[in-house]
Amino acid sequence: MNKQSRAWLGAGLATLVLGGAGFGLATKLRPAHAEGGGGMPPAKVAVAAAQKTEVARFLGGIGTLEANRQVEVPAEVEGRIAKILFTPGAEVRAGQVLVQLNDAPEQGDLERLTAQRASARALLERTRRLVPQQAATQEQLEQAQAAFDQASGELRRVQALLEQKRIKAPFDGVLGIRRVNLGQFVRAGDALVSLTDSRTLFANITLPETALPALKRNQQVALSVDAYPGRVFQGRLSTIEPQIGSDTRTVRLQATVDNADGALAPGMFVNGRVALPARTDAITVPETAITYSTHGDSVFIVVPAEKGGGFSAQQVFVKAGARQGGLVVIEKGLSPGDKVVTSGQLRLYTGAAVAPGDKDTLSLTQESKS
């Protein structure tokens, strides 16, 4: 054997010696938990039991609030504004005079016609006394009656015109911004001021046409507005539009809402939820238990390991339903009592060893709420 061969042989023996020493050292340094095989310790996870609970059901929609009574108070006849008798933003009563138009010509006509009617009445009474004495004819009595009736009609016409020039509030409510000024000439139909009665409001909501079979009058409606985050206003479903919108394929609803405290205002955007009978057999799990992916929603459940005791994870595909209060309704895939992983499932796979936490996270959530 030449020198070059002996050198290669020596290098190979040195490599084998070093490799054996390294293996022995690695064996001595291996963690105790690796002796049983597998190498990885059980993953620590939090779990919760799938529970059969009663879940409230709602049909949600959006809409707008409308006052029970609201109107732009108009002028019934044309004329010049002689007096403005209201304060913008004030509360008024039905029949309260808001604006007085110039009625001087009509006041003159009223005095003239009042006198004419009094004269016609006197003539009629005198003629009635003379007819039995044959001092007046029946024809003269009829003429006197016609003159009195004509004078009475003219007087009522002028009185009605005077009443029209006293523009009054049609109902109790709150006035808005004044639209006219003193001395301004207005025509019939011109808006003078808005008047709103918002002690009771209507919430006009739209829902998909598929919701129609579940709707009934007097159902409870929960309403929320952006102006009061977290506050829920209660209403009652008072009207269901009998026709489906042909352009939107939606059904219009109207809920009646008590607004005694004046918190709500007409025109507000509103979210409405129509209450349906509660579902008593719903299976729910915490929202954090659901893993969403393009292949479908799934959860990991904890089951006894097939070998060596302990527990392992098993992936189960589910059909998730409505969400409410941090819980998800499981329509398909789980049974009551199944232990689902609520945290720590990021690196799990079917068959992975797990170490469930001592406490049920769902129970902890319920205890914190109570």
Query: Could you report the per-residue pLDDT of 275-313, keeping only the tens digit for each?
Result: 888 888 889 999 889 988 888 899 999 998 887 778 888
Sign of CA dihedral 189, 194, 200, 202: positive
pLDDT at 16: 45
Shared domain for 64 and 208, answered yes or no, is yes
pLDDT at 24: 45
**Residue 369 DSSP class:** H
Q: Regarding beta strands 353-360 and 43-49, do their DSSP bridges make them parallel or antiparallel, or are they unpaired?
A: parallel
Domain housing 354:
42-54+280-365
pLDDT at 356: 87
pLDDT at 295: 84
Task: Using pLDDT thresholds of 50, 70 and 90, give the confidence band for residue 134.
Answer: confident
Shared domain for 176 and 93, answered yes or no, is yes
Q: Considering the chain, what percentage of its residues have pLDDT values greater than 90?
A: 52
Shared domain for 136 and 163, answered yes or no, is yes
**Residue 291 DSSP class:** B
pLDDT at 28: 39
Residue where a domain stops, chosen among 131, 159, 192: 192
Asked whether residue 226 is assigned to any structural domain, the reply reads yes
Q: Which of 79, 75, 76, 73 is nearest to 185 (CA)?
A: 79
Q: Residue 195 phi/psi, 5° resolution?
A: -135, 130
**42-52 tens-digit pLDDT:** 888 999 999 88
List, in sequence order, every residue forming a beta bridge with 217; answer none if it has no partner: none
Shared domain for 166 and 246, answered yes or no, is no
- Give me the residue label for tokens 């059969």: 52
* DSSP states of 322-342: EEETTEEEEEES--TT-EEEE
Shared domain for 272 and 292, answered yes or no, is no
Which residues touch 323 (CB under 8 Å, ≥6 apart)?
287, 329
Q: What is the CATH number of the domain that holds 350?
A: 2.40.420.20
Q: Which amino acid is at 151?
A: A
Shared domain for 169 and 63, answered yes or no, is no
Asked whether residue 223 is assigned to any structural domain, the reply reads yes
Residue where a domain stops, chosen among 162, 192, 222: 192
Indicate if the pLDDT at residue 123 is higher than 50: yes
Residues in the chain: 370
Q: What is the CATH number of the domain that holds 109?
A: 1.10.287.470
Asked whether residue 20 is assigned to any structural domain, the reply reads no
Task: Using pLDDT thresholds of 50, 70 and 90, give the confidence band for residue 20.
Answer: very low
pLDDT at 39: 57
For range 341-358, the mean pLDDT: 85
Asked whether residue 7 is assigned to any structural domain, the reply reads no
Q: Considering the chain, what percentage of its residues have pLDDT values greater than 70?
A: 86
* pTM for this entry: 0.64
- Give me the residue label for tokens 């009635």: 128
Task: Using pLDDT thresholds of 50, 70 and 90, give the confidence band for residue 57.
Answer: confident
Asked whether residue 331 is assigned to any structural domain, the reply reads yes
Which residues touch 320 (CB under 8 Å, ≥6 apart)?
290, 297, 328, 329, 330, 331
Structure-token pair, residue 43: 């993953």
Shared domain for 285 and 347, answered yes or no, is yes
Asked whether residue 315 is assigned to any structural domain, the reply reads yes
Q: Which of 323, 255, 280 is nearest to 61 (CA)?
A: 255
Asked whether residue 5 is assigned to any structural domain, the reply reads no
- The answer to whether the CB of 78 falls within 8 A of the CB of 278 is no
Indicate if the pLDDT at residue 53 is higher than 90: no
For range 234-259, the mean pLDDT: 92
Task: Extract long-range pairs of 114-118: CB within 8 Å, 24+ residues apart.
Answer: 114/155, 116/151, 116/154, 116/155, 117/148, 117/151, 117/152, 117/154, 117/155
Q: What is the CATH number of the domain that holds 258?
A: 2.40.30.170
Residue where a domain stops, chosen among 150, 175, 192: 192
Shared domain for 93 and 174, answered yes or no, is yes
Shared domain for 145 and 228, answered yes or no, is no
Domains in the chain, number:
3
Sign of CA dihedral 134, 138, 142, 143: negative
List, in sequence order, every residue forming a beta bridge with 201; answer none if it has no partner: 67, 257
Shared domain for 207 and 250, answered yes or no, is yes
Shared domain for 186 and 121, answered yes or no, is yes
Q: What distance in Å separates the CA atoms of residue 169 and residue 92, rounded to the nearest whole number?
A: 7
Shared domain for 188 and 241, answered yes or no, is no
Average pLDDT, the chain: 84
Give me Rg for the CA atoms of the chain.
Answer: 44
For range 349-363, the mean pLDDT: 73
* Range from 103-112, 155-164, 325-334 carrying the lowest mean pLDDT: 325-334
Asked whether residue 307 is assigned to any structural domain, the reply reads yes
Task: Using pLDDT thresholds of 50, 70 and 90, give the confidence band for residue 367.
Answer: very low
Task: Using pLDDT thresholds of 50, 70 and 90, give the confidence band for residue 23.
Answer: very low
Task: Using pLDDT thresholds of 50, 70 and 90, give the confidence band for residue 358.
Answer: low
More confident residue, 155 or 39: 155
